[in-house]
Amino acid sequence: MASAVPLIAGAHLLEVGVRWPPETFIQRKLRGLAAAGMRVSVGSTMRPEPGAAPVEGVRLVHMPDWRERMSRQLAGVCVQALRPGRSSLRTLTAANGPYAPPFANTFKTKLTLVRALGSLTHTRPDVVHFEWESAAVQFLPAGELLGCPVVMSCRGGDIDIYPHLQSEVRWMRGLPRAFDTAAAVHCVSESTKRAAVAQGLDPAKAWVITPAVDPSFFTPRAEPRVRGDEMRLVMLGWLRWRKGFEYGIEAFGRLVASGVPARLDIVGEDPGPDHAEPSERERILCAAEELGLRERVHILGPLPSAGVRDLLQRADALLHPSLAEGIPNIVLESMACALPVVTTDAGGVREAVTDGVEGFVVEPRDVAGLARGLAELWHDPELAARMGTAGRARVERSFTLAEQERRWAELYEHVLSEAAA
């Protein structure tokens, strides 16, 4: 963060509704902002694992959630009311005010909201940032309560999927209100921006800041890529249906059936309680079994960044069969490792990958197209190498951390100066 700007230096950024520890890409951003002089806190309903290392430069504020017992919630609200600076009355008013989230419609959910917001009032931030659309809707009154500008992120996926789900009607009802209260809305891609505008976002508030990778960490392997005995493929993502794993397995099956010896490593974690959906693990295993691929498909579970990098460096291609996305970090990380990418055209993927240049881009659910792209890379190693090199060059040109950090500083500077004015 080279150009620390006066207003953000010393300003207090509070990120709300983030996992703990935060996802790698959020940690990177927060560390960068802390290094630029911002004070950074994270309000999370999760508690640190015993013995887990702290996140450098970032303070954790624990927010109680709905799993807390009712008696404890009530006691907590009473304690909050007695403490100066944690006014339960103010949080109660906010929880019932015009920006009460659509979820807070029962006594229990209101109480949870009051407790969660109450835990934040003493933090006195200069700017609040919701890294996920869902958090922005869930904690809608936070900006009003804390008396500071609000920034929210639209990361793709949810904003593409939820408008079509009956089960998310309340979430969708809250989204325009979240856009309304936000001083700025960060969108991870132009595609995500379009989806947000379709849901009521004022385009003037939108800031497109794409994900980025550290090209000095995600590097091509030292020795030149040599075709081995089998094609080594990687799929990575939460084990959720929106990642399209089954289509990936089907494409992999066609590749193997066409005579290409191949191995597929799947990196990813089962969805947590906050995702409220079943894991795709059984579906993946079953598809692999049905297609006779059990010996070739390996679910490795979650891996740290270094593990992901090592795997990408050893692989021959990334297979990314996702159905809904912003711009996926794994695609950029693979490109930084000079790995060709075979991906679906989900969300903003085309903003990072041009079909035929850094890899192949096919329609979502196009199993034959994915298999064709993989086979072409196997049969034409020179093409694969060219695509890898092009991917690395594109990341260095358009998706560097330095540029992303500059844009974040610009966004917060803008929001703080508007608030000051």
Partner 1 sequence: MNGRVAIVCEAPVERFGWEARVWNGLLARGVDAHLVVARANLARWQPPRDFAGDRFHVCPTHGRDAVRALGPRAALHNTTAGRLKLALARLRPRLAHFAGPDLAMEASLPAGCSLVVSLGPQHVCVTGIGEEDYFGPLWEKAAAVHLPDRAVEARALRRGMPEEMERAVIAPGVLMDDVPRVPQNGHLRALSIDDLNWTQGLEHSIQAISLVPGCDYRIAGEGAHLSALAFARHQLGVTDRVQLDSSGNPSSLLAAADVLVSAQVIDGLNPSVPLALAAGVPVVMTQPGEAESLPDDAAVVVPRRDPQALAAALRELSADPGRRQAMSEAGRRVAAERFDADREVEELIALYERFI
Residues at the site binding partner 1, with contacts judged by CB under 8 A? 160-161, 164-167, 241-242, 246, 250, 277-278, 280-283, 285-287, 289-290, 323-324, 364-365, 367
Helix, coil or strand: residue 306: helix
Cα dihedral: 237, 240, 246, 249 (round 10): 20
The least distance separating partner 1 from the CB of residue 324, rounded to whole angstroms, comes to 7
Q: Where are the beta strands (DSSP E) in 45-143?
A: 58-62, 127-130
Q: Measured from the CB atom, is 286 or 357 closer to partner 1? A: 286
Q: Which residues pair with 15 in a beta bridge?
A: 42, 129
Q: Measured from the CB atom, is 126 or 280 closer to partner 1? A: 280
Q: Measured from the CB atom, is 225 or 242 closer to partner 1? A: 242
d(CA 235, CA 341): 10
The least distance separating partner 1 from the CB of residue 201, rounded to whole angstroms, comes to 20
Q: Can the peptide bond before residue 98 be classed as cis, meaning omega within 30 degrees of 0?
A: no
The least distance separating partner 1 from the CB of residue 250, rounded to whole angstroms, comes to 6
Q: Measured from the CB atom, is 242 or 414 closer to partner 1? A: 242
| Cα dist from 276 to 16, 167, 273, 290, whole Å | 19, 12, 5, 27
Q: Measured from the CB atom, is 71 or 166 closer to partner 1? A: 166
Sequence-separated (6 or more) residues with CB below 8 Å from residue 146: 14, 120, 121, 123, 124, 125, 128
249: left (phi over 0), alpha (psi -120 to 50) or beta: alpha
The least distance separating partner 1 from the CB of residue 357, rounded to whole angstroms, comes to 25
The least distance separating partner 1 from the CB of residue 281, rounded to whole angstroms, comes to 8
Q: Measured from the CB atom, is 23 or 289 closer to partner 1? A: 289
Q: Measured from the CB atom, is 30 or 284 closer to partner 1? A: 284
d(CA 92, CA 115): 9
The least distance separating partner 1 from the CB of residue 165, rounded to whole angstroms, comes to 5
d(CA 126, CA 10): 10
Q: Measured from the CB atom, is 31 or 365 closer to partner 1? A: 365
Q: Measured from the CB atom, is 286 or 303 closer to partner 1? A: 286
235: left (phi over 0), alpha (psi -120 to 50) or beta: beta
Sequence-separated (6 or more) residues with CB below 8 Å from residue 168: 161, 162
d(CA 131, CA 55): 17
d(CA 385, CA 139): 47
The least distance separating partner 1 from the CB of residue 33, rounded to whole angstroms, comes to 34
The least distance separating partner 1 from the CB of residue 280, rounded to whole angstroms, comes to 8
Helix, coil or strand: residue 352: coil
The least distance separating partner 1 from the CB of residue 245, rounded to whole angstroms, comes to 10
